Amino acid sequence: MDRETIFCKADEEAVRKAGEILRNGGLVAFPTETVYGLGANALDEKAAARIYAAKGRPSDNPLIVHITRREALGRIVTEVPEAAERLMDAFWPGPMTLIFQKSPEVPYGTTGGLDTVAVRMPSHPVARAVIEAGGGYIAAPSANTSGRPSPTKASHVAEDLMGKVDMILDGGEVEIGLESTIVDVSVAEPVILRPGYISLEMLQGVVGKVSVDQALLRDDAGIRPKAPGMKYKHYAPKADLKIVEGSEEAVAARINELIRQGREKGKRIGVIAAKESAYRYQGGIVKTVGSREEDLSIAQHLFGILREFDTLGVSEIYSEAFDTPRMGQAIMNRLMKAAGHQVIKA
């Protein structure tokens, strides 16, 4: 512990204090609709550097700048393309981050040395109040130690960052549970760099042509993702996590066999299952992540369950695949990373 961390409910007085800390170059973690963010003044290079130190984040992994008003864009970007205007009209405030050409006001310490800047306007009332109180331009990556699952509750933030930041605001559990969709609008045709709640279809419905970064579609280490952060190992629990794919019956049979083999060797085995199929597993520690019928519930609980398994002393975890129509792309992107792309075909 190198500094004292204030941990408190996100009430009016706490938000006022958070604003003061941010204006003085300090670090405040706060809830957003996606995951908890670790905020610092985005226009102050030294403040941004403290985020990297607290998270243990690689310095080439740029930060997203959070704003609350469209007018604020003028100071930090050089140009707002037509497609960006339409996407902002449709999805801001909300879980969508856009990449623009940056203005000289944004330090390279915030953009990881890039000439572009990522910007998001969150909808969460606490996030908005903190950004305003802190001066209007708050860099806020996920409030976890780099590599661990992103925090979806204040207690997750405390696990990773107690003693490393000035303040943690508790605003309860987040709604979405996965980080924002990142769309590069600094190029002629918008490209998704990270899938999220705002899906490809939703973006196409607004601007027509949208493509997906090739690195997201293929499991090929040779293709460099356009979002620098996407190349890093992420979210991995301590136990060895593997995804088991196939029909519901075949997956259950295979996982039950793996549980039996593990138990014979005296191991504790974890299972991540949907509500609809959890009853099929025997002998393992089974966590129900959410319902396939309402896949937002899977997104909401995935990171929390990965963290929970770290406290349960399991040595192997087997997860069902969740290729659901709505959020399947975003969920599987995070789950595949957490599993180091290990997939068993049942």
- Residue from 32, 68, 97, 142 in contact with Mg ion (CB under 5 A): 142
Pairing of strands 138-139, 37-41: antiparallel
φ/ψ region of 62 (left if φ > 0, alpha if ψ in -120 to 50, else beta) reads beta
User: What values do phi and psi take at 119, rounded to 5?
Assistant: -130, 140
Token pair for 201: 């279809």
Using the structure block, give the residue that is written with the tokens 């050089």. Answer: 78
- Which residue's beta carbon is nearest to the bound ligand AMP? 229
In whole angstroms, the minimum distance from the beta carbon of 36 to Mg ion comes to: 10
At 319, phi and psi to the nearest 5? Answer: -120, 140
In whole angstroms, how close is the CB of 112 to ligand AMP at the nearest point? 7
70 is in an annotated binding site: no
Q: Tell me if 295 sits within 8 A of 327, measured CB to CB.
A: yes
Q: What sign does the dihedral 323-328-329-335 (CA atoms) show? A: negative
Contacts of 8 (CB under 8 A, 6+ apart): 14, 167, 168, 169, 170
Comparing CB distances to Mg ion, the nearer of 142 and 256 is 142
32 binds Mg ion (CB under 5 A): no
Nearer to Mg ion, 34 or 142 (CB): 142
197 among annotated binding-site residues: no
Q: Choose the binding region for Mg ion from 71-79, 137-145, 161-169, 284-292 (rule: CB under 5 A).
A: 137-145
Is 140 among the annotated ligand-binding positions? yes
Q: Residues in the site for ligand AMP, rule: CB under 6 A?
A: 61-62, 64, 99, 111, 114, 116-118, 141-142, 179, 182, 193-194, 226-230
The DSSP secondary structure of 123-144, one letter per residue, reads --HHHHHHHHHTTS-EE--BSS
CB of 141 to Mg ion, least distance (A): 5
Identify which of residues 288 and 300 has a Cβ nearer to Mg ion in the complex: 300
Residue 137, annotated as binding a ligand: no
Would you state the structure tokens that stand for residue 178, as one six-digit string?
């996965």
Say if residue 301 carries a ligand binding annotation: no
Confirm whether residue 315 is marked as ligand binding.
Answer: no
Residues present in the chain in total: 346
Annotated binding residues, written as ranges, equal 34, 57, 61, 66, 116, 120, 140, 142, 150, 180, 194, 235
Annotated binding residues for ATP, written as ranges, equal 57, 61, 116, 150, 194, 235
Annotated binding residues for L-threonine, written as ranges, equal 34, 66, 120, 140, 142, 180
